[in-house]
Amino acid sequence: MAEKKPGLIMVFTGDGKGKTTAAVGQAVRALGHGFKVYMIHFMKGRDYGEFLATAKMPNLTVVRAGRDCFVNRDKPDPIDVELARDGFKKAEEALLEGNYDMVVLDEINVAVDYGLITVDELLDLLKKKPAEVTVILTGRGAPQELVKAADMVSEILAIKHHYEEGADCCQGIEY
């Protein structure tokens, strides 16, 4: 079992590249010290490389709570709502059951922005967090209430992005 320290609430937000990968890297770092990690990817069902690479890692549970398609922000498909709601319930169980040292809620900020989960629900969940568990939340547009509740917030700025220069969306890089 990992050395016990107070858990943190860590947020990776902003328009730049590196939010999900930073969370994945944090998870790998934690695993290296024997932590147990639960990682749930909201709004995503695609075979991201991190999902493929981590699916069978010991001490890591990885769950997807989305589909491999675009979610309509103005009028989300009921399936997308259901997947996010179900994912949130799973995340809550994972957080409260005490078997994990770290819980990663990937793209949860976007799920909140899309109205699939409310800010209040998210804040309530964080209030119920066991003291020693670290929670990592990613996605652009982190709500101010979350920034206030967090111990650490990194905003990732896109100083330069290859999308703008016409490069293709690359396997192994973007997903």
Residues in touch with its own copies (CB under 8 A): 2-3, 5-6, 8, 10, 12, 14, 16-26, 28-33, 35, 47-54, 101-102, 134, 147, 150-162, 165, 167-168, 170-173, 175
Q: Which CB sits closer to its own copies, 110 or 136?
A: 136
Give the shortest CB-114-to-its own copies separation in angstroms.
Answer: 22
Which residue in this structure is represented by tokens 């709500």? 143
Cα distance between residue 91 and residue 39, in whole Å: 8
Nearer to its own copies, 97 or 151 (CB): 151
Query: Which residue lies nearer to its own copies by CB, 26 or 76?
Result: 26
Give least dist CB 139 to its own copies, A.
14
> Could you tell me the CA-to-CA distances from 59 to 17, 28, 44, 86 in Å, in that order?
27, 10, 22, 22
Query: In the 8-state DSSP scheme, what is residue 165?
Result: G
CB of 121 or CB of 155, closer to its own copies: 155
Residue with tokens 């169980």: 93
Between residues 74 and 168, which has the closer beta carbon with respect to its own copies?
A: 168
Whether 149 and 8 have beta carbons less than 8 Å apart is answered as no
User: What distance in Å separates the CA atoms of residue 138 and residue 141, rounded to the nearest whole number?
Assistant: 9
The closest of 91, 75, 100, 99 to 137, measured between CA atoms, is 91
CB of 118 vs its own copies, minimal distance in Å: 22
Minimum distance, C-beta of residue 97 to its own copies, in the bound complex (Å) = 19
The span from the CA of 43 to the CA of 39, in Å, is 13
- Separation of first and last alpha carbons in the chain: 32
Task: Tell me the closest approach of the beta carbon of residue 145 to its own copies, in angstroms.
Answer: 13
